[in-house]
Each structure stands twice: as C-alpha cells, then as structure tokens.
Amino acid sequence: MERLRSHGGPWERESLFLGLLFALPDPYGYFLWIPYGIVLPLAIIAGNRKQKKIGEEESRFADADA
C-alpha cells in the first residue's frame, strides 16, 4: 500500500506567516511570533507521530509479506 500525498499546506502556512510578518507594521508583526512559537512545536510533534504510525504500518506489511 503506497501513500502518495501532496501537501501544499505547510508551504502555504509558512508563506502566509512570512507575508503577514513583512506586511504588518512593526509592533504588530512581532505578535505573530507568539502563535507561531506555540503552533510550530505542536505541528512537529503531530507530524512525528503520524510518521511513526506510517513506519509501523509499513513494517507490519513488510513482515506479513516475508
């Protein structure tokens, strides 16, 4: 079972963040770092869990085929 997905989501979110960072006036642009600093680690943790689950599924399929 192959998992082929195209995710433009992270690139779109990063582009939006950088665009707002440069577009907003000085004091307000810095406030974007607060949610970014909270959301980024949570997104990394969720992505790592998802990758671990995919790896476990692939190893189960490899063991079943052998």
- Rounded Cα distance, 14 and 12, in Å: 5
pLDDT value at position 1? 47
Contacts (Cβ under 8 Å, ≥6 apart) of 45: none
Q: How far apart are CA 61 and CA 41, in angstroms?
A: 30
C-alpha span between 66 and 57 (Å, rounded): 14
Give the mean model confidence (pLDDT) for residues 30-54.
Answer: 93
What are the residue ranges spanned by the domains of the chain?
A: 24-65
Residues 20-41: pLDDT tens digits? 999 999 989 999 999 999 999 9
